[in-house]
Amino acid sequence: SGLAAGPRGITCDAGCRAFDMYGIVTDDVFVAGDVSRFPHPLFGYQLLSLEHWGNAVAQAEVAAHNMVSPGPLRRPHLALPTFWSTQFGLNIKSVGVPTFSDQVVIAQGSLEARRLAMVYGYQGRVTAAVTVDMAKSLDYYTHLIETAAPFPPPPGAADRAIAADIPIPSDVPDPKGLSHGPTVALTGHLPDRRLTLVQPGG
């Protein structure tokens, strides 16, 4: 297709416009949902691939708006990533990007109680929260992420007693080490350099 497509999707700008394989934004190809890979300013402009129903709906609304709007009226896709699931009878909800973190703290509840809220931080800012059977707290943590609130969150800031835990390293894979794009090679000479795809093992 000539687009910046790889195993993690098609890279686009925050307005859902696809990049071509050179990293140049196209004017009339829009992507949304599972197939897209987009930068989010709250998470260091890192390219996110999200496979959640809620993101697909919110991003499609932005893509549709931008398709019919001239440049200055275009909107960015800035919805916070969120999803929930039920596993082994436990209600698990997540907001933000837990992998965009260097520390995590159990801010409410405990492992023993099987009810807790884990808050993730990156370089002193709250970037994500995951609750287990404590979904009521999620709105509060959403606000902390949206406002780039300091990490760890201050004691007593939530509507329940804070379980005074100390932040520990979140130990997520370094995103710089996760490259799933196609391998390309430069051809030609300046000013007309081009790219060709390098086949796996080729």
Ligand X SMILES: Cc1cc2nc3c(=O)[nH]c(=O)nc-3n(C[C@H](O)[C@H](O)[C@H](O)COP(=O)(O)OP(=O)(O)OC[C@H]3O[C@@H](n4cnc5c(N)ncnc54)[C@H](O)[C@@H]3O)c2cc1C
- Is 54 an interacting residue with respect to ligand X (CB under 6 A)? yes
- Sole window of 31-39, 65-73, 134-142, 189-197 interacting with ligand X (rule: CB under 6 A): 31-39
For 13, 48, 186, 194, the CA distances from 36, given in Å and listed in that order, are: 10, 8, 25, 24
Q: How far is the CB of 36 from ligand X (least distance, A)?
A: 8
Q: How far is the CB of 16 from ligand X (least distance, A)?
A: 12
Q: Which is nearer to ligand X, 90 or 113 (CB)?
A: 90
Query: What amino acid is encoded at 41 in this protein?
Result: P
- Is 61 an interacting residue with respect to ligand X (CB under 6 A)? no
CA distance 5 to 26: 13
Q: How far is the CB of 88 from ligand X (least distance, A)?
A: 15
- Is 34 an interacting residue with respect to ligand X (CB under 6 A)? yes
Q: Which is nearer to ligand X, 29 or 195 (CB)?
A: 29
- Is 33 an interacting residue with respect to ligand X (CB under 6 A)? yes
Kindly write out the interface string for residues 70-109 of this chain, putting x where it contacts ligand X by CB under 6 A and - elsewhere.
-------------x-x------------------------
Interface contacts to ligand X, rule CB under 6 A: 33-35, 51-54, 56, 83, 85
